[in-house]
Structure 1
Amino acid sequence: MNWNYLILILAATVGGGLIPMTIKRVSANFSIYLLAFTGAFLFGVVIMHLLPEVYHELGHQAGVYIVLGFFLQVFLQQLSHGMEHGHTHLPQEHHHHIAVTPLLLGLSIHAFMEGIPLGFKYDDQSALPSLMAGVAAHKIPEALTLMTVMIHAHKKRSELWSILVCFALVTPIAALLAGWMGNRFEVVQHYLLYVVALVVGAFLHISTTIFYESGTKHHELSRKKVLAIAIGLLLAFLTLIFE
């Protein structure tokens, strides 16, 4: 396990969470284009690195688990209300109650799932560093959205820090746990591949939802959002140089 990768993900999560904690008013357009860029980057990494890996190892079974992962994410977003892809669903000014527990539960399960593939041993040497970069990029808007919601839930400053630090640790801990168990138990390493396929499905759901929904009116794709998506995909293509 490369500790530098885990530190990068931890730093990206904390950095994303600090944005709404230090800037009183974050531009809506900034969030839209950041989501589009990171979603496209993650999408490209999944298509070019993870999909070939799971299909090579699992054959047609991979498709079954990818579909299951896709709909598992649909279920999880019923708890998190889509914070993984930028949905805040903040209440109106006259109504300040936000059910924090299910939001944190759904997003934490998703974050734990994100970490498991980071502890897997890939045949493709470029898969792990590319995935690490994709997850780190995705963590920035994910943490930004989480802390925006927590601020509107009127959490104290100390509570905000506790939530952010705990959330930032979930994905690295999952990666360490998966890597540790996979190295010691061959059967665990084998079944981790099925979990990777599930997470691929979840990533596909999140990234495609970002393309067509998050931050847009009537699900349109503006020129600037298309440009952000194009840059994200271009960087994903550049990860092929790791091979």
Structure 2
Amino acid sequence: MIFNSIVLFLSAVFGGLYALRVTKTKESQVKSVLVFAGSFLFSITVVHILPELFETHKNQFHIGMFILAGFFFQQILEYFTSGVEHGHMHVHHHSNKHSAWSGISLMTALCVHAFLEGTILAHPEVIHDSHSQGSLLTGVVLHKIPAALALMTVLACHYDKKQTQLILLLTFALASPLGVVAGHWLTPMGLFSEDGMVMLFAFVAGNFLHISTTIFIESSPEHHWNSKKLIISLLGAGLAVVSEMFY
């Protein structure tokens, strides 16, 4: 639990601080990392999380419904985040009042998403063996670093003070570790049954499917053939498969 929390916190802080140091962060420089992360996350979800979800729980219909719910809940979150959680960096300048509201709604939605990500890493014995937990953690980290980078790029347009930007970055960075802690204590305290935790994992798996597939769509908005994207995608998927087999 402690190791996962530290890694999740540092990955978000690293991505955000890198964005602060680089004055002009080009979206093209992040795309390769995003495609690799999206492919890795999608592959881990398909080859590991989903099979074990359907194997663990007898009512497979309920599992499928929660996966769908997580998928469309992520769509709702993106109304407030504008896709920052998967590295989208298109920003617009607004009035001060609208800018403040946009910043608050952005941070709230991203923290909800990050909190849910943390809960899925809290109980390796429920849905994934401890030996393969590292591959799932890797997928979340690879997704979180560019997300934090994009977040700070967007916040720079909403808030002028670096101090405010850093406070919001730390808030975002703490969301996933808090999810790990909360998920770890939900079942022992009797607040969440083991079946409930499985359903929560199904919900988060739906989040992952939405994020990873959206990365692929946005990386080629005009649907042109891109051999570099294909190679990076195959590398990400291959690493996910290898990590499942030999981690």
TM-score (norm 2): 0.89
Return the offset for 1:89.
Answer: 2.9
Return the letter of the residue paired with 1:84.
Answer: E
Return the letter of the residue paired with 2:116.
Answer: M
Structure-2 residue corresponding to 1:103: 106
Aligned-pair identity in percent equals 34
Structure-2 residue corresponding to 1:200: 205
Which string of whole-angstrom CA distances, capped at 9 and with x for unpartnered residues, describes residues 53-101 of structure 1?
2111222321111111111111111111111122223116x97863211
Structure-1 residue corresponding to 2:40: 41
Alignment pair present for 1:31 and 2:34 = no
CA contact (8 A) 2:73 2:207 kept: yes
Structure-2 residue corresponding to 1:71: 72
Structure-2 residue corresponding to 1:115: 118
CA contact (8 A) 1:69 1:201 kept: yes
What is the CA RMSD across the aligned residues, in angstroms?
A: 2.0
Structure-1 residue corresponding to 2:49: 50
Structure-1 residue corresponding to 2:232: 228
* Distance in structure 2 (CA, Å) of the matches to 1:211 and 1:230: 12
Query: Helix, strand or coil for the counterpart of 1:118?
Result: coil
Alignment pair present for 1:241 and 2:245 = yes
CA contact (8 A) 2:34 2:215 kept: yes
TM-score (norm 1): 0.91
CA contact (8 A) 2:12 2:145 kept: yes
Alignment pair present for 1:82 and 2:87 = no
Return the offset for 1:233.
Answer: 0.9
Which string of whole-angstrom CA distances, capped at 9 and with x for unpartnered residues, describes residues 162-198 of structure 1?
1111110100111111112223438533201101001
Please show how residues 104-143 of structure 1 align to structure 2 within 5 Å: 104-120=107-123, 121-122=125-126, 124-125=128-129, 126-143=131-148
Question: Do the aligned partners of residues 187 and 177 (structure 1) sit closer, same or farther apart at CA in structure 2, a change above 3 Å counting?
Answer: closer
Q: Size of the alignment, in residue pairs?
A: 240
Return the offset for 1:161.
Answer: 1.0
Please show how residues 166-181 of structure 1 align to structure 2 within 5 Å: 166-181=171-186
Query: Helix, strand or coil for the counterpart of 2:121?
Result: helix
Return the offset for 1:205.
Answer: 0.6
Give 2:216's match in structure 1, choosing from 208, 211, 216. Answer: 211
* Distance in structure 2 (CA, Å) of the matches to 1:33 and 1:109: 26
- Is there any run of 5+ residues in structure 1 with no aligned partner, and where? none
Give 2:152's match in structure 1, choosing from 137, 147, 150. Answer: 147
CA contact (8 A) 2:135 2:243 kept: yes
Return the offset for 1:156.
Answer: 0.8
* Distance in structure 1 (CA, Å) of the matches to 2:155 and 2:221: 24
Which string of whole-angstrom CA distances, capped at 9 and with x for unpartnered residues, describes residues 28-47 of structure 1?
22111111111111111111
